[in-house]
Amino acid sequence: MSAPRHIRTPLGRVRGFGAARSGTGHFWMQRVTAIANIPLTIAAVIIMMMLLGRNQAAVAQILGSAGPAIIMLLFIVSIAIHMRIGMQVIIEDYVHDELTKIGLLIANTFFVIVVGLAAVYGILKLSFGL
């Protein structure tokens, strides 16, 4: 047996890393956003139900008012983080060609940022009446 090259323990080396080199950050964030999504989804569904059948002016006015707008912004941000991690797990589970996998992971990030920011822009536009 040769002497170990460094004095760090095996636990010290893997702590915060693991196979994905990013540790349990995604696992934890997926659960934090899942918990946030429970009240936010219920609130968002109630807002959507309240707006059913109303005309555009009423929808714009209600959706742009402080309470519903802040709830929708929180909902969008929380589901965007949650769905980016979720889709990443799905891609990593089923796509084994390295280049395709990297391409899809980047596309996933782009999709989430574009759709998320477009939805945030829409809410801010209604709120500030731009």
Binding site for another protein (CB under 8 A): 31, 34-35, 37-38, 41-42, 45, 49, 52-53, 55-57, 59-60, 63, 72, 76, 79-80, 83, 86-87, 90, 115-116, 118-119, 121-123, 125-126
CA distances from 113 to 7, 12, 33, 76, 104 (A): 42, 34, 16, 11, 14
Residue 29 C-beta: closest distance to another protein, Å: 14
In whole angstroms, give the CA distance from residue 6 to residue 13: 10
Residue placing its CB nearer to another protein in the complex, 6 or 56: 56
Structure-block tokens of residue 16: 């915060």
Residue placing its CB nearer to another protein in the complex, 105 or 119: 119
In whole angstroms, give the CA distance from residue 50 to residue 63: 10
Residue placing its CB nearer to another protein in the complex, 29 or 59: 59
Residue 123 C-beta: closest distance to another protein, Å: 6
Structure-block tokens of residue 11: 């636990």
| Number of residues in the chain | 130
